[in-house]
């Protein structure tokens, strides 16, 4: 007998939870905020063929669907509390669902976040997750607070997912080890949740780099009404990317998508505190530029010479 809708939910998604007044099984989930906190809520959808290739394992897909949402909570400095899963499936394939749930809940458990509800329907594979997090009232990190003179920082390394994509497109070949690293970065990103929380009360602005650094920094600059100079040779790169021609390195670090690193700004007199936040969160960060009053984004190399932007960041409705 084929797996029915409610049997599917019960078997793969309804698990014992803590931190919810009421989870799966009613018409609404019921959640109580911690007194004095605000909710931070975000939704991200993954569509087959657009956000992931059909070759990705269901485990990695489950991980990534939640990871990209947790990355948005991280950007705002939120503590994850609960998530909702809206799933369209071409068929109720138990082996696929088992893998998907395994990847999903492994990451959920790492962050102590409960699946509180969702919706399940037949249709082309589509995964939509909504996450809810919280932060003490007034402490959410926003894109709008960057001020002239602020330092610009980015976590981890940039451009690895884009490099993996170039390999899958047949434009680049990488040795096995380098390909494993970049493929893992593309299929199984690490949301910088602890770093985001450590930056509450310290960062003047923050954003997660999901559509390419140039575009995401551009959002911060316009929301904050400022400009910036970015040191392109200071952008953090993995070993496999650092071994590529400079033009490809710049393309990947500046415009590649799917990095899920945090870019944030802090006042220059608080550098020592950035060091403390970084140490507490166990995430590396690198200083990559400065916010300026003059509008616009200026790219310079290690010698201070102007560098041209390698092209626009990703936009779903403006693809080349």
Region of residue 144 (phi > 0: left; psi between -120 and 50: alpha; otherwise: beta): alpha
| Helix (H) / strand (E) containing 151 | strand 151-155
5 is a contact residue toward Mg ion (CB under 5 A): no
92 is a contact residue toward ligand ADP (CB under 6 A): no
Q: Pick from 208, 221, 225: which is nearest to 299 by CA?
A: 221
Dist. CA 81–CA 142, nearest whole Å: 19
Q: Which of 85, 104, 107, 186 binds ligand ADP (CB under 6 A)?
A: 85
- Angle ∠(137,279,44) on CA atoms, nearest 5: 50
Q: What are the Cα distances from residue 230, in Å, to 19, 198, 299, 301?
A: 42, 24, 5, 9
Dist. CA 17–CA 22, nearest whole Å: 9
Dist. CA 193–CA 100, nearest whole Å: 22
- Provide the 8-state DSSP code for 258: -
Site for Mg ion in 108-147 (CB under 5 A): 119
Query: Which of residues 119 and 177 has its CB atom nearest to Mg ion in the complex?
Result: 119
Site string for Mg ion, 39-78 (x = CB under 5 A): ----------------------------------------
Q: How far is the CB of 135 from Mg ion (least distance, A)?
A: 30
Site string for ligand ADP, 96-135 (x = CB under 6 A): -------------------x-xxxx---------------
Query: Which of residues 85 and 213 has its CB atom nearest to ligand ADP in the complex?
Result: 85
87 is a contact residue toward ligand ADP (CB under 6 A): yes
Radius of gyration of the chain measured on its C-alpha atoms: 20
Site string for ligand ADP, 141-180 (x = CB under 6 A): ----------------------------------------
Query: Which of residues 24 and 46 has its CB atom nearest to ligand ADP in the complex?
Result: 24
Query: Which of residues 108 and 199 has its CB atom nearest to ligand ADP in the complex?
Result: 108
- Residues listed for the chain: 320
Binding site for ligand ADP (CB under 6 A): 9, 13, 24-27, 85, 87, 115, 117-120
């Amino acid at each position: 007998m084929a797996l029915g809708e409610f049997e599917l939910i019960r078997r793969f998604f309804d698990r014992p939870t803590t931190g919810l007044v009421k989870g799966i099984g009613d018409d609404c989930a019921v959640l109580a905020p911690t007194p004095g906190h605000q909710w931070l809520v975000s939704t991200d959808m993954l569509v087959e063929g657009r956000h992931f290739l059909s070759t990705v394992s269901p485990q990695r897909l489950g991980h990534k669907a939640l990871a990209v949402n947790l990355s948005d909570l991280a950007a705002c400095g939120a503590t994850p509390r609960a998530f909702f899963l809206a799933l369209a499936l071409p068929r109720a394939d138990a082996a696929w669902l088992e893998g998907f749930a395994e990847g999903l809940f492994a990451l959920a458990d790492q962050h102590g976040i409960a699946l509180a509800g969702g919706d399940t329907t037949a249709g082309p594979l589509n995964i939509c997750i909504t996450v809810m997090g919280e932060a003490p009232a007034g402490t959410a990190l926003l894109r709008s607070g960057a001020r002239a003179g602020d330092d610009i920082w980015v976590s981890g390394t940039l451009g690895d997912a884009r490099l993996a994509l170039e390999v899958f497109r047949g434009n680049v070949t990488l040795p096995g080890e380098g390909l494993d690293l970049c493929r893992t970065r593309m299929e199984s990103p690490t949301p910088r949740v602890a770093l985001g929380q450590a930056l509450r009360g310290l960062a003047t602005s923050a954003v997660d780099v999901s559509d390419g650094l140039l575009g995401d920094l551009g959002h911060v600059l316009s929301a904050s009404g400022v400009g910036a100079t970015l040191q392109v040779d200071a952008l953090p790169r993995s070993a496999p990317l650092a071994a590529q021609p400079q033009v490809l390195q710049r393309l990947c670090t500046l415009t590649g998508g799917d990095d899920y690193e945090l870019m944030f700004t802090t006042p220059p007199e608080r550098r020592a505190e950035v060091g403390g936040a970084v140490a507490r969160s166990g995430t590396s960060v690198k200083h990559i530029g400065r916010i300026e009053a003059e509008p616009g984004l200026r790219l310079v190399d290690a010698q201070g010479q102007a560098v041209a932007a390698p092209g626009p960041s990703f936009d779903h409705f403006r693809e080349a």
